[in-house]
Structure 1
Amino acid sequence: MINRPATTSGRRRFMGVCGGVTAAVALAELEIINRLPRVSAAEATLDQQAVRFSDDIEPLVRLLEDTPRNRVVEVFADKVHGGTSYREVLTALLLAGVRNVQPRPSVGFKFHAVLVVNSAHLASLASPDQDRWLPIFWALDYFKSSQDRDVREGNWTMAAVDESSVPAPHLARQAFIDAMDRWDVDAADVAIAGLARSAGANEVFELMAHYGCRDFRSIGHKAIFVANGFRTLQCIGWRYSEPVLRSLTYALLNHNGEPNPADSDLTPDAACRVTEELMDGFGDHWNSGKMDPAASLAHLDALRDASPEQAVRETAALIQSGIHPQSIADALFLSAGEMLMQQPGIISLHSSTTTNAMQYAYRTARDPKTRLRLLLQNAAFIPHFRSSMQSRGKVANKQINELQQLDAPATTMSPTKIFESANQDRAGASHAAMQFLAGGGQAEQMIQTARQLVFLKGNDSHDYKFSSAVLEDFYAVSPEFRNSYLAASTYLLPASGDRDNGLVDRIRSAIG
């Protein structure tokens, strides 16, 4: 990992679904290789200490890096008109982020240029055809602002890997585990390069999910990067994984301003120590319990006052008593939604985005121990978020149960009217949303209205991260709690009267 000085240097059909490797994808990638220009000898001499990407994508990444922010929308619109695909743009966006933006001193702030890529992608997949480019071009513009900030903070660039130290394929996995357990950045960097070249995506995901949930540093962004990074790689292709995994490894080992956690007893690691102590006490059938909405509400209440360590123990006890993990997940989602009501802001927002990431990892991981660890650690993070909220000021005495108790009136406000009212009265908008949903209103109407407002009003990465998370998680919550979860999200979703971001007309004009 190095610093370097700055250097100078018809549209294809949108791919609606990004899944596994197919013959069509293979042919599409072959077309990319044949179509894009090769890297010139002059370019090849630039920044030899910096990581380089494959010839099929390096020119497009450099174009993004070198294009001024005030021209990036128009330049990439021209590329799209010239045949550059959605997948290529998404790939360049992620790779430019991991090469140019450092996840230090925190896995946040300017690094949201990387974290938001999957959120923009999810918003794009869920949009009508005419809007599908809007989130991606917004993310291009946002990358340029983050790149400018990184330049002001020292112009960090990811270095080329130290090839002489990359472990042999049969040694890479254990070398990575050992380095991560020691919090050894240099050893982990070469180990993950070896692992990326020799292991499959599922095996690597299991390891990253394990380390992504072990500590609360950077208010959940480590877990968010694990989920979002892998989800984007599922679309762009595993062959681009090595630089992304190196960036992710560097982020997971961030403990800025602290002694080495491997040799210290530090607060952010305390809950994980309890989790590891409890892991061996579970049998093979821990995830075959009974769904119980009453248990979800009781656990929600317990999490309001628990410490992180207590949250782990109480969650473990509930599972061992025969409660299904989905009922635990419901309590975690409701906790995150309730925090939005109590203190709408950056901390409660991250309780939702982190729970989204950890629950995605829980649903995706294969190893039962990894899944159990994610569930226990997700529970531990909830009190961490509550404590962080208390340190920032007043926390309102509101409970999400209040929304459950609202009756549907004879007439309800439309989603458009609900979001129009949100500027003046967030609580009232939340109540109106619950009444709309309880009265038989379609959740998809709420979701699509909210997403359109994100396109128009989204001025910050958190607008995309939060909206993509909560709108996706509506369907991850059990049906009896979905409406209150979505209604609570109106405390932070964009309102109709918020300032426009000024990009939509410019993007539409450029794309045509």
Structure 2
Amino acid sequence: MPVQSHRAKFQVSGQMQRRGFLGAVAGASTVLALSDQLLIGSLPRVSAAEATLDANAVRFSDEIEPLVRLLEETPRERVVAAFAERIRGGTSYREVLAALLLAGVRNVQPRPSVGFKFHAVLVVNSAHLASLGSPDEDRWLPIFWALDYFKSAQLQDINEGDWTLHAVDESAVPPPHRAKQAFHDAMDRWDVEAADAAVAGYVRTAGAHEVFESLAHYGCRDFRSIGHKAIYVANGFRTLQCIGWRYAEPVLRSLTYALLNHHGEPNPSKSNLEADRAIEVTQERIADWNAGWNLGKPDSAATLSLLQTFRQATPEEAVREVDQLMRSGIHPQSTIDAMYLAAAEMVMRQPAIVALHSATSTNALQYAYRTVGSDRTRMRLLLQNAAFLPHFRESMRSRGKVSGIQIDELNAESASNDLGDENKNVRQIFDLVGRDRASAADATFRYLSVDGPAEEIIHAARQLVFLKGNDSHDYKYSSAALEDYYSVSPKFRNRYLAGATYLLPGYQDRDNGLVQRVREALS
């Protein structure tokens, strides 16, 4: 499937008047005025005909190809200005989002891991979620950040060989009546070439939900790439929901390629590998489930008991425990609450990259769980989510110190009944973040326990990401954690958000320089 090409790099010429872009952050209010308005001068348009696309590369439809080419060929220092000019000329939010995703899947290889430079693709939906949750005046900011971030990933890919997603081999695409089965057969064999052709045929003949179910089935199959496979399934489909299913084929070909990544290992279908042991247990446990599996009763004691299990169980033991709880009459939400709490607790215990992915993977797996239609696929996703958490816990041990803090030990006994000004208290929370994470978590929990509005914390955190975020993980994590607050049961959601503050940005963090970078791009 992979093809390497060396594309001509088109340099944009012309002058750009320097204009203001973002306002200053001032005062103690949670609402940070990040931008007043977008004032763009003139910039020469870039014709797609002026750059040469490799003959073997996948091509997109006529209405989006020129915009993708603009992103690919415009130098990084001018890409924000170039897209600002297009937006002023009528290019829509959806078109820019589509160009971001498609440029990523054509130009960035999801190997040797579905992470690293490939975050330029994974982060598109996170930037989109941040935009949806922002006031109108800030809505473009995450997208401009993602445009700039793509250029850095594109450069890294060029330096590593300049991989390009090639056009599908049409002679290998199965006929419509065989496409779905051909796809599943190829995925089960870990056959990259056959799966690439099969998914193209599958997308052309089946509906979006049916295809999503198939890919969700494989996205949770294994822990390789620390959860990025599941993240790509969820984030890819969520972005397609916004930009349109007509762009699905190249995206899902890239996704299929990513799902089959087993770098440095023999073919998993012919080997007994540790990464595949949990799915074997999961398959055994769901074999005899019936339609009444989700009719149990919520039980907070069961949630806390399962949380303790996640602190010490193996992946296979975690699968069996979740299975047993639901067979005993516990509602799935009680097990889901334990998964969210376990992920947030790992963030508290080691606020770093591995624990971060326990939260973003759980977000992705739970999105898929809520979206697919088959009971068996839903159970598979739930049990594999349980299996992933011990994998993350053990992976953390090789990354340094892991504290023994427990999320269920947070308490609100010292909470004041008189919070005073809400914005001041939220300001105090984010003054602590980055300097004293434990105190920030305690302050968050106390604030929420006396009915401080969670929306104020969420809004402040999101806008601080715009101002302080330096990495794709800042967007991925914050979008996942802030969204998942509402997916946790009311009894536990305050603990979840308090734990999540360990990896949110704070006022004391260094600014990311976005203001200056944008102004330089517009000069």
TM-score range, shorter chain: over 0.9
Q: Deviations over 1:173-230 (max 9, x none)?
A: 0000000000000000000010111111000000000000000000000000000000
Larger RCO (CA within 8 A; separation ≥ 6):
2
Of residues 461, 469, 485, the one that matches 2:472 is 461
Q: Deviations over 1:95-124 (max 9, x none)?
A: 000000000000000000000000000000
Determine helix, strand or coil for the equivalent of 2:410: helix
Partner residue in 2 for 1:432: 443
Corresponding residue SS for 2:258: helix
Q: Which amino acid aligns with 2:438?
A: A
Q: Which residue of 1 aligns with 2:54?
A: 47
Alignment of 1:79-228 (within 5 A): 79-228=86-235
2:7/2:53 contact within 8 Å kept? no
1:235-284 CA distance string (max 9 Å, x none): 00000000000000000000000000000011111000000011122121
- Secondary structure of the equivalent of 2:502? coil
For residue 505 of structure 2, what is the aligned residue in structure 1? 494
Distance 1:131-1:111 versus aligned 2 partners, 3 A rule: same
Partner Cα separation in structure 1 for residue 390 and residue 188 of structure 2? 25
* Distance change (3 Å), C-alpha of 1:167 and 1:333: same
State the 1:74 CA deviation.
0.8
1:263 corresponds in structure 2 to 270
Mapped contact 2:433–2:501 kept (Cα < 8 A): yes
What CA deviation, in whole Å up to 9, does each residue of 1:401-439 have, x standing for no partner? 111454422454611111112232110011001111111
The answer (yes or no) to whether the contact 2:412–2:446 under 8 Å persists in 1 is no
Match of 1:481 in 2: 492
1:421 is aligned, of 402, 414, 432, to 432
Alignment partner of 2:385 out of 372, 378, 399: 378
Q: What one-letter code is carried by the residue in structure 1 that aligns with 2:327?
A: Q
Q: Which residue of 1 aligns with 2:332?
A: 325
For 1:452 and 1:476, the matched residues in 2 are separated by: 21
**Conserved in 2, the CA contact under 8 Å of 1:38 and 1:56?**
no
1:450 aligned to which of 443, 455, 461: 461
Cα distance in 1 for residues equivalent to 2:53 and 2:352: 43
Bigger Cα displacement from structure 2, 106-115 vs 46-55: 46-55
Alignment check: 8 A CA contact 1:290 1:324 kept? yes
The answer to whether the 8 Å contact 2:114/2:258 transfers is: yes
Task: Specify the SS of the correspondent of 1:157.
Answer: strand
Report SS of the residue matched to 2:263. Answer: coil
Moved more, 297-306 or 499-508: 499-508
1:14 paired residue number: none
Contact 1:77 1:510 in 2 (8 A): no
> In structure 2, the residue corresponding to 1:490 is in which secondary structure?
helix
**Residues 156, 433 of structure 1: alpha-carbon distance in 2 compared, 3 angstrom cutoff:** same
Paired amino acid for 1:300: L
* Aligned counterpart in structure 1 of residue 397 of structure 2, from 383, 390, 393: 390
Aligned positions of 1:356-375 closer than 5 A: 356-375=363-382
TM-score after normalising by structure 2? 0.90
C-alpha separation between the residues in 1 aligned to 2:352 and 2:264? 25
State the one-letter code of the partner of 2:478.
S
Partner in structure 2 of residue 470 of structure 1:
481
Identify the range of structure 1 (396-405 vs 249-258) with the bigger mean alpha-carbon deviation.
396-405
Where 1:414 maps in the other structure, the secondary structure is helix
> Any conservation in 1 of the 2:485–2:497 contact (CA below 8 Å)?
yes
- Structure 1 gap ranges (5+): 10-35
Unaligned runs of 5+ in 2: 11-44
Q: Which residue of 2 aligns with 1:352?
A: 359
Q: Is the 8 Å Cα contact of residues 128 and 143 (structure 2) preserved in structure 1?
A: yes
Determine helix, strand or coil for the equivalent of 1:475. Answer: helix
Q: Secondary structure at the match of 1:429?
A: helix
Could you tell me which residue of structure 1 aligns to residue 6 of structure 2? 5
Change (3 A) 1:37 1:498: closer
SS at match of 1:161: coil
Alignment of 1:12-51 (within 5 A): 40=49, 46-51=53-58
TM-fit CA distance, 1:302: 1.1
Query: Is residue 503 of structure 1 aligned with residue 517 of structure 2?
Result: no
Rounded Cα–Cα distance in structure 2 between residues aligned with 1:423 and 1:478: 27
| Structure 2 equivalent of residue 408 of structure 1 | 415
Residue in structure 1 matched with residue 321 of structure 2 by the alignment: 314
**Equivalence map 1:225-244=2 (5 Å):** 225-244=232-251
Q: Does 1:64 align with 2:65?
A: no
Contact 1:134 1:507 in 2 (8 A): no
| TM-score calculated relative to the size of structure 1 | 0.92
Say if 1:183 and 1:253, in contact at 8 Å, map to a contact too.
yes
CA distance in 2, matches of 1:203, 1:316: 26
Contact 1:39 1:55 (8 Å CA) reproduced = no
- Pair 1:411–1:447, CA change in 2 (3 A): same
Deviation, 1:37, is: 10
Whether 2:82 is the aligned partner of 1:75: answer: yes
Q: Which amino acid is 2:310 matched to?
A: L
Is the CA contact 1:312–1:377 (under 8 Å) kept in the aligned structure 2?
A: yes
The equivalent residue for 1:22 is none
AA at the equivalent of 2:151: K
* Inter-partner Cα distance in structure 2 for 1:494 and 1:192: 39
Q: Does the 8 Å CA contact 2:79/2:521 hold for their aligned counterparts?
A: no
CA contact (8 A) 2:117 2:157 kept: yes
Task: Give per-residue Cα distances to partners, 1:131-179, cap 9 Å, x unaligned.
Answer: 0000000000000000011111111000110011111011100000000
